[in-house]
Amino acid sequence: MLKYSARRLLEAIPTLLGVFILSFFLVHAVPGNPAVIMLGTHATRHNIAMVTQEFGLNKPLPVQFLIWLWQLLHGNLGTSFTYNQSVWSLIWQNVPRDLSIVGIGTLLASVLSILQGLYQAKVRGSLPDQAITWVAYFLYSMPIFWLAVLLILWFSIDIPIFPPGGIQDPTQTVVTFGTWAAHIALPVICIALATVAYAGRFMRASVVDSLVQDYVRTARAKGTSEFSVLMKHAFRNSLLPQITLLGFSVPSLFAGALFVEEVFNYPGLGLLFWNAAGSRDYPIILGTTAVIGVLTVAGNLLADLLYGLADPRIAYD
Amino acid sequence: MAALPETAVNVLAPQPPKRELSREWRSFWRNPLAIAGMVLLGFLVLFSWVGPHVWTVNPQTFDLSKIASPPGPGHPLGTDSVGRDVLARLMLGGQVSLVVGFASAVVGVTVGSLYGLISAHFGGIVDSVMMRIIDITFAIPGIFLLLLFDSIFTPSATLLVFIIAILSWQGIARIVRSEVLSLRERDFVEAARALGASSWRIITKHYLPNALGPIIVYGTFAVGNGILTIAGLSFLGLGLPPPNPNWGGMLSDGMNYLFVNGWWLVYPPGLLIVFAQLGANFLGDAFNQAFDPRLRQGK
């Protein structure tokens, strides 16, 4: 297990390097000099030359890449062209906000989908089971941005319970827990519903799968209560696929978050990236891509390792 | 050993287990999911292509005296922000969505299947390198690539097809690869190889027919995802340039009328995207149940 973990960690290095190389060169394939964009339409040729020089944009691309990589390895993602602030600090401002909506949303979705899966497997074939399956189908087929728009329409316009977007009321200067909770409510609900739509389906399938296994039959034959069969056998064994599913869904979580942030005007990594792409802010584009790339690789790795820990039958050589 | 003539290969090689396509298709047609999926997609195709012949209002005609007017006579689904007929635009938008979704799935699945085939067939270092490349492209957020391509090129329907395909080929490549890896060790493939069958023959006669099930299943889901992706791109303003309508773009346009209860700009485009997704998901699940013997018996 230790050897396997070490090997997987080593294998992640060339993958990450590939991510960095590919994203760097792709970003620089975009035409247009960022210095021109940064300075606006009134820039003189002299100013453009100065800024180009200052940000090292006149060096050959491979050299620029090596400089960027060297800085990256030292934990320096550079300075944003447009915000005139270090990219790390920008990312650190946004990550907690993202974590609060994506993290709480996913957590909520996990709990809900486990309950849904257990319940549906318990009553499988019945009317409630089929009804839930159809609702999940519908939810699963809904684009996340439409869901977000509908949530605003229903819960902040038709029945004004929650604010339609942003992170604080314009009149307030101090963000209290109440306003924080109210502002993240709709984004959290949106992410939770979108996640539960596929995680719940998955959970139901794996619980049904484990309920027909021999060990469950043995447990039943020994007179184990139905509750205990569900919790001790079916539930624990169905957790595995759930772990893997979540571990592998890091990139789609971020993509979903971009839409959610866009609709609810909620500042996070997605919006940061989105605005940076509009203004050709290379350091931010590359920095967020690198961070998401690292998180994706880490998510996959973690899912793999947790899977091994949770299922002792899987032997790694 | 000298290669035997093709005919000898045919006679001597133990034949692969006959895939009884008829049984799979029968199971497919009996599945209510398949029928539901085909009804939904059939409706969308009729709506998008036959619809404009029935509802002949020009989807591009502006009418600034009727900006965002609610459904009424002349405009059964109301008008948009510059007074164009919503129903006619939904139909035109459907054509783009369905064609791009379908084409991107075909391109993505073809490229991915070939990639997986080559990777598994050659194995060894080729396989390792090819799979690492997949890991890399998987770890770069798709939206990042979309934004880049979109800013390099002016979006056209063809470009969108390829962009969406680039985002979706990795899954099927992995599936086909693992399918071929297990087929490679099977007796009938071993026998074909021993009898001197060419790589081409093994790939086309043994690998492809046996991997067809997962390819069809994945391809069906890919159509739905393609439609969803183009809607998402248009929602973000990265789709086809105006005045081309698209369901996603119309939805984002409708967001400006949320506070004045412009429901006719929010529900219809969203519902059509859901119909397309639902149709593709139903069909994909039905194919999955038909091709997977475990699921077929369970039914």
Is residue A82 domain-resident?
no
Q: Chain A residue with minimal CA distance to B221?
A: A141
Is residue A143 domain-resident?
yes
Q: Chain A residue with minimal CA distance to B229?
A: A143
Sign of the CA dihedral running A32, A38, A41, A44:
negative
Is residue A50 domain-resident?
no
Task: Give B213→chain A minimum CA distance, Å.
Answer: 20
Q: What is the pLDDT of residues B153-190, one digit of tens each?
A: 777 888 888 888 888 888 888 888 888 888 887 888 88
Is residue A279 domain-resident?
no
Is residue A93 domain-resident?
yes
Write b or e for each residue in B34-52: b if 16 or more Cβ atoms lie within 10 A of its Cβ, otherwise e. bebbeebbeebeebbeebb
Mean pLDDT of B89-111: 89
Other CB atoms closer than 10 Å to residue A55's CB: what's the count? 18
**ipTM associated with this complex:** 0.80
Residue A35: pLDDT above 70? no
Q: Chain B residue with minimal CA distance to A17?
A: B136
Is residue A35 domain-resident?
no
In chain A, how many domains are there? 1
Q: pLDDT grade, residue B103 (50/70/90)?
A: very high
**Residue A154 is part of a domain; what is its CATH number?**
1.10.3720.10
The mean pLDDT of chain B is: 79
Asked if B255's CB is within 8 angstroms of A30's CB, the reply is: no
Interface of A with B (CB under 8 A): 14-16, 18-19, 22-23, 26-27, 29-31, 137-138, 140-143, 145-146, 149-150, 152-153, 157, 164, 251, 254-255, 258-259, 262-263, 270, 273-274, 277, 285, 289, 292-293, 296-297, 300
| CA–CA gap between residue B268 and residue B279 (Å, rounded) | 16
Q: What is the pLDDT of residues A221-268, one digit of tens each?
A: 888 887 887 777 777 777 776 777 777 777 777 777 888 888 888 888
The residue to which tokens 């940000």 are assigned:
A55
Q: pLDDT grade, residue B1 (50/70/90)?
A: very low
- The string of DSSP letters for A71-125 reads HHHTT---B-TTT-SBHHHHHHHHHHHHIIIIIHHHHHHHHHHHHHHHHHHHTTT
Q: pLDDT grade, residue B5 (50/70/90)?
A: low
Range of the domain at A120: 89-271
Mean pLDDT of A134-160: 86
Q: pLDDT grade, residue B107 (50/70/90)?
A: very high
Asked if B248's CB is within 8 angstroms of A145's CB, the reply is: yes
Greater confidence, B179 or A54?
B179
Tokens representing B5?
């003539």
Asked if the C-beta of B137 comes within 8 angstroms of chain A's C-beta atoms, the answer is yes
| CA–CA gap between residue B258 and residue A158 (Å, rounded) | 10
Q: pLDDT grade, residue B124 (50/70/90)?
A: confident
Is residue A233 domain-resident?
yes
Asked if B140's CB is within 8 angstroms of A23's CB, the reply is: yes
Q: pTM for the full model? A: 0.82
| CA–CA gap between residue B128 and residue B194 (Å, rounded) | 26
| CA–CA gap between residue A82 and residue A283 (Å, rounded) | 10
Round to the nearest angstrom and report the end-to-end CA distance of chain B. Answer: 48
Which residues have C-beta within 8 Å of that of residue A18, sequence separation ≥ 6? B132, B133, B135, B136
% residues pLDDT > 90 (chain B):
5
Is residue A53 domain-resident?
no
